[in-house]
Amino acid sequence: MTTSFIRQEDTRDIIYGMNEWMKEKKEVVLRFFSSYGKVSLVLLLVVTLSILVSILVHLTVPKKLQVSFLDVGQGDSILIQTPSGHDMLIDGGVSNRVLERLSSRMSYFDRDIDVVVATHADADHVTGLIPVLEKYKVTHVITSPLKGDTGVFDELEKYIQDEGGEVHVAESGDEVDFGDGVVARVLYPEKNFIPRGRDTNDASVVLLITYGSESVLLTGDLSSEYESKLVGSNLPRHVTIYKAGHHGSKYSSGEQLLSYIKPTYAVISAGKDNRYGHPNNEMIERLETYSEMILSTIDRGTITFLLDGKKVEVKTSK
C-alpha cells in the first residue's frame, strides 16, 4: 500500500493570489484617500503592511513535524501532526482519556484524522480508539494481521466497519506519504506474515516515520525476539526518537536493536505504579547505554517533539 496526501499550494498560485490581493488593496487605498484623507491612509497602510508581514512569515518560517506521546496511563497513544496539517494517530490507550489529550492538541473544529493505526489488538492499545472513531471522521485505518479474540477488539472492528474508511492490513513495504516531506513506512510484519501462536504482541505494526534527517521508530509491543527482524532491513543506523517497546518491558528494547539504532531520545509510555513493573530496570540500563536521553510519560506527562527536519525541540506537560 502506498498512500499519498497532497495539500501543498503551488508557488505560482501563491504569487498570483498575492498580486491580485495587492491590486484590490490599492483600490481600497485610493478610495480611502479620496474620502478620508491622509490619517486614514496611514492607518490603512499600517494594517496592510501588518497583514503582508504575517503572510510572509507564514510562508518563510520552517514547517515542523509534531510527534506527541500522549499521557494515557498504562498504554500507548502517539499523535503525529505533519507540517501541512495531516493527523495520524497510532493506538489509543486503555480508556477514553485519549480524547482529552487530543482536544488539547487539535483544533476544536478539526474532526478529521487522516490515518489511525492499531498496532495490535491488546486492550491497552485499542480501547481508546473506539471513542476516537465515534468522535472523529477517520479516512484510513491500518491494522495488524493478527486479530484479537477479546470483546474490546470485536467492538473496535464494528466501529471500523461503521466508520466506512479505507482499511488496510499492514505489511512491510507499505508507505504513507503525506506530501510534505513526512513519510511513514511499515517495517514489520513482513509480507505473508504467519504467526507462530496467538501472541498479538508478536504481530505489532512497526512504523518508521521520517522527516528530513530526523526519524521516529515505533515498535508497539514487539518482543526482542522479533526486534531482530528489523535490523538490517530499511532501518537506519541511527534514529532520532525511539519509543521503548512494550512500555519498557524486560523482554523488549533488546540490545541488538538498541546497539543498531542508538537513539538520541528514548520514550517510555507507561502508567505510574502499574502492576507490570514497567519500566523494567534491566531495560532502563540498556537504554542508558545506547540512548542519549530517556523520557517517560510517568514523570513528564505528554511528551511532544517538534522536528523541522534538521533539529529537535522537546516539550512536556509536567
Task: State residue 22's pLDDT score.
Answer: 64
Task: State residue 23's pLDDT score.
Answer: 67
Comparing 101 with 62, which gets the higher pLDDT? 101
> Cis peptide before 279, with omega less than 30 degrees from 0?
yes
Q: CA-CA distance, 89 to 70, in Å (whole number)?
A: 10
Task: State residue 151's pLDDT score.
Answer: 86
Task: State residue 20's pLDDT score.
Answer: 64
How far from chain centre, in Å, is Cα 101? 13
CA distances, 265 to each of 136, 209, 242, 293 (Å): 31, 14, 6, 5
Cell of 267: 520514550
Section 266-286 average pLDDT? 97
Comparing 208 with 52, which gets the higher pLDDT? 208
Amino acid at 93: G
Section 55-60 average pLDDT? 49
Q: CA-CA distance, 78 to 247, in Å (whole number)?
A: 13
Task: State residue 232's pLDDT score.
Answer: 80
Task: State residue 38's pLDDT score.
Answer: 60
Task: State residue 9's pLDDT score.
Answer: 45
What residue spans of the chain are helical by DSSP H?
A: 11-36, 38-60, 97-103, 123-126, 129-135, 151-163, 224-227, 255-261, 281-290, 297-300
pLDDT band at 6 (very low <50, low <70, confident <90, very high): very low
Comparing 234 with 246, which gets the higher pLDDT? 246
Judge whether residue 282 has pLDDT over 50: yes
DSSP 151-210: HHHHHHHHHHHHHT-EEEE--TT-EEE-SSSEEEEEEESPTT---SSS-GGGG--EEEEE
Task: State residue 98's pLDDT score.
Answer: 98
Task: State residue 194's pLDDT score.
Answer: 82
Q: pLDDT tens digit string along 166-215? A: 999 999 999 999 999 999 999 999 998 887 778 999 999 999 999 999 99
Judge whether residue 105 has pLDDT over 60: yes
pLDDT band at 18 (very low <50, low <70, confident <90, very high): low
Task: State residue 15's pLDDT score.
Answer: 52
Q: pLDDT tens digit string along 20-44? A: 656 666 666 566 556 655 666 566 6
Q: pLDDT tens digit string along 138-154? A: 999 999 999 888 789 89
Q: CA-CA distance, 281 to 264, in Å (whole number)?
A: 19
Section 309-317 average pLDDT? 94
Task: State residue 37's pLDDT score.
Answer: 59
Task: State residue 75's pLDDT score.
Answer: 96
SS3 content of the chain, % helix, strand, coil (to 5): 35, 25, 40
- Neighbouring residues of 291: CB distance < 8 A, sequence distance ≥ 6: 242, 258, 262, 263, 264, 265, 266
Q: CA-CA distance, 69 to 77, in Å (whole number)?
A: 6
Judge whether residue 84 has pLDDT over 70: yes
Judge whether residue 50 has pLDDT over 90: no
> Cis peptide before 189, with omega less than 30 degrees from 0?
yes
Other C-beta atoms within 10 Å of 137: how many? 12
